[in-house]
Amino acid sequence: MAVEKYLKPEVINQIKRLDLRAQFVVKGFLHGLHASPYHGFSVEFSEHRKYTAGDDPKDIDWQVYAKTDKYYTKKFEAETNITGYLVMDLSQSMGYTYRQELTKFDYGICLAAALAYLMISQQDPVGLITFNEKVRSSLAPRSKRTQLGNVLSLLSRLKPDGQTDFAHSVGQISSMLKHRSLLMIFSDLLFDEESTINSLYRLKHGGHDVILFHILDHAEVHFPFSGICQLRDPETNEEIKVDADGFRTEYIKRVKDFREGLAQKSRQSGIDYVALDTSMQFDKALIEYLHSRKMRF
């Protein structure tokens, strides 16, 4: 029964569409993520250089010394393979869109598919974790080419539903990780800022590299409404009426302050924060981000 469900024509077409978008995004940019943040954590031998004062004597290559009567040290470089996890927020609020082609959830899936393709092309293992109130599913990291099909198949079947407990879910994720990993989180972060940041701090302090893709709908950033509007919380269904024209300036300032606060606190703890809205071409946004990341390592 599961096989029949997964092989429905609409599922196959969705996987093909995601795969094409992923290939388009990463074409010509397959090394953007490949600089390891773990210098000294997992290393491989690179080359020799002359020993100089201050070098660690333990790095001296004594076999070279025996042949040349000169001191040379082994120069090491960080191993480039990293284990990545795509971490998808499944909460109902991610299904929101206002006059955009993609919902926040669809936008996140496109980014995740592209990054999965990128990592597997580099032979880096990548897995997938989904959450809302708790972790809902997980796919163990693999680097084989067949893993891309596994990731895309799961991504294409996901639907946003329910409320979110970000802190609890991140705590679960942290306990699942046995090795240092790259966590690529896709969320609208429509929950308490302090608990969000504290949760991410714990991941970072656990030695993990964290990239936070903060995805909002264009309307959530720019508030293009007018007159008396009835706004509804997609997770609690709570509704309020507001005078959009009178509320716009304050609302936009709050969103701006919220994003800037997250960006600042993320930078302070070494977390990559990427602010996105669904009106941005996700391929350009991703390439710009990867380029900026590459320049830092």
User: CATH 3.40.50.410 in the chain, residues?
Assistant: 2-34+80-296
pLDDT score, position 25: 67
How far is it, in rounded angstroms, from Cα 53 to Cα 72?
Answer: 12
In the predicted model, what is the mean pLDDT of residues 126-152? 93
pLDDT score, position 2: 41
CATH, range 2-34+80-296: 3.40.50.410
pLDDT score, position 39: 36
Mean pLDDT across the chain: 81
How far is it, in rounded angstroms, from Cα 207 to Cα 78?
Answer: 15
How far is it, in rounded angstroms, from Cα 283 to Cα 160?
Answer: 22
In the predicted model, what is the mean pLDDT of residues 175-186? 92
0.85 surpassed by pTM? no
pLDDT in tens, 212-258: 999 999 999 999 998 998 887 766 778 888 888 988 999 999 999 99
pLDDT score, position 54: 65
In the predicted model, what is the mean pLDDT of residues 57-61? 76
pLDDT in tens, 147-177: 988 998 898 889 999 899 999 999 999 999 9
Regarding predicted confidence, which is higher, 156 or 260? 260
pLDDT in tens, 92-119: 999 999 988 889 999 999 889 888 888 8
